Amino acid sequence: MKELSELDLPGDRNYTEDHEWAMEVGKTVKIGISDYAQDQLGDIVFIEMPEEGDTFAKGDEFGTLESVKAVSELYIPLSGKVVAVNENLEDQPELLNEDPNENWIITIEPSDLSEMEELLSSATYLDILRD
């Protein structure tokens, strides 16, 4: 397990208290899990992801991660339609352990981009982890 000071929490994205991140890329938003989440889960062995075209409301479960320790639900940080799924993760879910910041899970077309403002900055997310 990493110390909190060792976590890589880039400031170019926003975070949820459920340990997902959201990063605006043009008119879309990439979604993944935080370095803290992958560290706590341990070796990720399976991921269940939605289909392209699926729509979700903010906070909906959009998939699950299975690790050697547990099964964990994934919650979507903002409302929108899935426009891309990272198919590399289907055969190599361990990529999330190797680099959770580079290996996004889904990309959505947000229905309300202002929901990003409700998410946490990397500094605020780290403060929550410290508590």
Q: DSSP per residue over the chain, as a string?
A: ---GGG----TTSEE-TTSEEEEEETTEEEEEE-HHHHHHH-SEEEEE---TT-EE-TT-EEEEEEESS-EEEEE-SS-EEEEEE-THHHH-TTHHHH-TTTS-SEEEEES-GGGGGGSBPHHHHHHHHH-
- CATH number of the domain encompassing residue 39: 2.40.50.100
Structural domain boundaries enclosing 23: 4-103
Total domains in the chain come to 1
Print pLDDT tens along the chain (131 aa).
Answer: 999 999 999 999 999 999 999 999 999 999 999 999 999 999 999 999 999 999 999 999 999 999 999 999 999 999 999 999 999 999 999 999 999 999 999 999 999 999 999 999 999 999 999 99
Residue 115 lies in a domain: no
Residue 49 lies in a domain: yes
